[in-house]
Structure 1
Amino acid sequence: MNHLPEAWGRPRDDIYGAYDHSFVAASQPNTHTQSPIVTGTSVVALKFNGGVVIAADNLASYGSLARFTDMERLRQVGTHTVVGASGDVSDMQHIFTKTLENLTISEEYQSDDGHRLRAKHVYSYLSRVLYQRRNKFNPLWNVLLVAGWDEGKPFLASADLLGTTFSAPALASGFGAHLAIPLLRRVAPDEAAVEGITRERAIEVVEECMKVLFYRDARSMNRYTMAVVTGSKDEAGKEKVDIEWRKDIELKQQSWKFAEGIRGYGAQTV
């Protein structure tokens, strides 16, 4: 007797011919990529009194190979928002070039009602897209940081591939969640501390985080992109949002000779 599942409830093959296995293949569930191939590492963001600073390096790694060195992982959405993505680069491109562009076209151009997408709107939409894909067991392998201006104050929040959402005055994804967050929280331990952080101080802290990540994260590089979202009101009381881009910033590398002074380095006697 043939005990294979496809033979259950049917006559033997040697009498009625071989079984058509195409029926079995057609009934199998869809399978999706469950492991990212080309990935980007940390995104770092910090609120300040009047806006948000967000930065991400330009490297996309193929495993441990520094494959693509000009991959910007920040994208402006509308007039109020910048989205940063770490994780799988192909999923990031899907979010940037399809999901967010379709959202912008639909909400700002097709409607033509004067309404403009704010940071909270973009964040709510992306968090639900991620959660919906997770429920289909085909997640978008990214952690997204949404920075911008909303209702007269800076906005910063995070959403991951499971649809988990939260906000904080300082956020980082990837390896930065371990290395950059402690540095950021020294400056912004809570929302109340944001009022005392100037734009210059916020940029300085984020630059320091990018420097630490370059030296400590093997998937990082010394060139990165930064966006500074600043909100204010004009004389008529109308809200005004400005997004300043600083692209292809290059860190000034220090000599690796300092490694000789680290205990246990190389063949030195300790």
Structure 2
Amino acid sequence: METFHKQVVLITGCSSGGIGNALARAFAARDCLVVATARSISSMADLNGADDVYFLQELDVLSDNSVREVVSNVIDKFGRIDVVVNNAGVQCVGPLAEIPLSSVEHTFNTNVYGAMRLIQAVVPHMASRKKGKIVNTGSVTVLGPGPWSGVYTASKSALHALTDTLRLELKPLGIDVINVVPGAVRSNIGNSAIASYSKMPEWKLYKKYEGAIRERAYFSQGPKATTSEDFANKTVAAILKEHPPPWFSCGEYSTIMAIMYYLPIFIKDFLLRKAMNC
């Protein structure tokens, strides 16, 4: 297999049905060699059978050893990593006053520290080549934080801030940093959110909002949601540009949320309370 001309792309969170899986396919369609990772290879079974395109690896972003081992394996096998996409993430739905702190910690450990683990593991390699791209997957919810998803939005807000700083700090090392900000994109995130939500305690102060809170888990999965394939194709096209944009947002509600960011707070609060039945 001739791989010298192919860009080597490492993506986290590539389980079937997710955005990462769609991104893996979109990068492969553009003649990249894709290192698709997830906590278990079996969750990426639909990518099996294409050994000339995909290199499947188990990677747990919560583990320093797992991250370092995968980065080392990829460099040993292909000699380089050109693009890293920090896509692995978890949802967390519930009212901030009652959500268990263990759930808060798990969300930040996955969405924020997980990304930083991989970044710190790969930057020395990219810096030695004076070349590389780091892509962090944020969320349009950061532009208009609403009720019932405060933990998730806070974790993505932290990742946005880290991405802005990394863009400035890594530029002198020859590394581009891109903040990808999905809108409502159809994926398995709704089912994953409900699965984690089922482990939450019974709400006391917010019992009457139970229905609205559960609906929040599926809010991004409505009939108008952008398909993961469309999102992935447009995103990958932006990432692979010689001079990629520092911010790329795509998907249903992305324009609305960009406008929402600039609205007066009282208007923003009114719209979000109405949308989330709060």
Q: What is the TM-score of this pair, normalised by structure 1?
A: 0.29
Whose radius of gyration is greater, 1 or 2? 1
> Which structure is richer in relative contact order (CA contacts within 8 A, separation 6 or more)?
1
Q: What is the TM-score of this pair, normalised by structure 2?
A: 0.29
Between Structure 1 and Structure 2, the one with more strand by share is 1
Between Structure 1 and Structure 2, the one with more helix by share is 2
